[in-house]
Amino acid sequence: MRIERFCDIDRRTLLMRGTNTPQVSAAVAPIVSDVAARGDAALLDYTERFDGVRPEPLEVPKAEWEAALSRIDPALREAMETAAKNIRAYHARQVRQGFKMGGDGVYMGQIITPIERVGLYIPGGTAAYPSTVFMNAIPAKLAGCSEIVMVSPPAKDGSIPDAILAAALLAGVTRVFRCGGAQAVAALAYGTGSVPKVDKIVGPGNAYVAEAKRQVFGRVAIDMIAGPSEILVLADETAKPEWVAADLLSQAEHDRMATAVLVTVSHDLALAVSDEVERQLCTLPREAIARASIEANGRIIVADTLEEALEAANELAPEHLELCTADPAELLPKVKNAGSVFMGNCCPESLGDYLAGPNHTLPTSGTARFSSALGVDDFIKRIQYTHYTQEALAAVAPKIAAFARAEGLEAHARAALIREAVQ
């Protein structure tokens, strides 16, 4: 991995970029419009074209979910049940209640209501992610969503991996469909003969999935435009090179476009991690993917102080931030931009991916500067309400009229005043 000093870096290069390109946009647009126009026929055509199978029926029967759960390895099932329990406990703390306030003829408040029907996109292809089913479905279930519709790309035999179907059953998913890519996003946004139209689409995917979500936004809500996975390890001399290298590679193996960065105050650690990354790369089953990621997007930045290292981390606004230092709790209040923070040398990012409880659907490409991890709030709506008696309105009507007339809106003013003038 290349090693640079923070003071020598062009600060503009610290900004992680998104994945949309004109070519991706141009490829996705006709798929979205075709699925919107032709429904199931188009969805099946694109699934056959891109996944090599024409799955009929598109929907996976519940009996297949139950069979999948019975087939998975007992150790995996135990791990999944533990993860579901932890994720549910963490996100239950996020459930909010409405409120009511007022007095003297006035009351107002807010009610919390779930989004009725949500769509979950669960990636397939080079890897299957049952953990993503939990991270997306469990918050939706806690929010009270009545329908949780999942789509995922099928294998060439039309099947969905057992672990994905088992996770859907354990997490409370309502329906599962065998489709992926931009066409599946379009199906959720517009509805087809088989796939119901949803109100919001959540979940990660490749550049085409992300672009499809961008293009259907407005017709439906979306969680975020997710880019390739990222990790930034901020480390001092207490960090172990072997551990840091393993954590960097845990993200690099996701995707050739993934980003893995070490920021450290120790030049010796920087050299040791660079050597260790190369040693571990050679032993990875997904070496080709991880190596491409490290060569294109891996970097080691040497800072003079921990304050300077934090400055670099906050500018990068990484999806995952590991604080591998002697006292991570001291640094945490100074973290301004990060999707999820992992504290200490014994808290690898993979702990958060699978088991700890906090969500792993996180802002990427620097968007942690203004957005947050997926949570229960992503599956609710806040409806506000107001009530005034006639006497209470009369007391404030002149003030309403003053505001309205200052903005040149006489009808607004009269709407407030007429209730006193005309009984």
Catalytic residues: 319-320
Buried b (16+ CB within 10 A) or exposed e, 22-53: eebeeebeebbebbbeebbebbbbbbeebbeb
What Cα–Cα distance (Å) separates residue 38 from each residue in 24, 28, 178?
22, 16, 17
DSSP-assigned letters across all residues of 114-179: E-SEEEEE---TT---HHHHHHHHHHHHHHT-SEEEEEE---TTS---HHHHHHHHHHT--EEEE-
Please answer whether residues 222 and 209 qualify as being in contact, where contact means their C-beta atoms are separated by less than 8 angstroms: no
What Cα–Cα distance (Å) separates residue 2 from each residue in 261, 277, 299?
10, 11, 5
d(Cα 188, Cα 36) in Å, to the nearest integer? Answer: 10
d(Cα 241, Cα 260) in Å, to the nearest integer? Answer: 14
**Edge-to-edge strands, sheet with 299-302:** 2-5, 299-302, 259-264, 230-235, 320-324, 340-343
With CA atoms as reference, report the closest residue to 127 among 255, 213, 20: 255
